[in-house]
Amino acid sequence: MAKIELDVQANDMFRVRRNFQRLGQLVYGETPAGDVDGVNDEFTLVSSPITGTLRLFLDGLLLRPTSDFTVAGNVITLGTAPSPGSWLLADYHA
């Protein structure tokens, strides 16, 4: 019985490790490229985020995917262009 429990634990640990590997590299605090001028609403990340991992902040507030922004590849399109002096930060897995 103990041997079966150890095998199950080993398999569970393998599954957890494998899931973390699928998340790729963590990118934290990246400033997307693009002019923050009140007109531009498109910004570019260095890498394409894995679907569902992008957290985008505007002036420290977390934006909501689909309602506040969309992402296609490594290009972010905001629903409203940020005002001059605003700042964007992105966290994601690539």
In a domain, residue 29? The reply is yes
In a domain, residue 57? The reply is yes
In a domain, residue 8? The reply is no
Q: Which helix (H) or strand (E) holds 75?
A: strand 75-78
pTM for the structure as a whole? 0.75
Q: What's the structural domain count of the chain?
A: 1
In a domain, residue 12? The reply is no
Coil, strand or helix at 25: coil
- 13-48 residue pLDDT tens: 444 444 445 667 999 999 999 999 999 999 999 999
In a domain, residue 68? The reply is yes
Coil, strand or helix at 2: helix
Domain span at 54: 24-93
Contact 93, 53 (CB under 8 A): yes
In a domain, residue 76? The reply is yes
* Contacts of residue 58, Cβ cutoff 8 Å, sequence gap at least 6: 68, 78, 82, 86, 87, 88
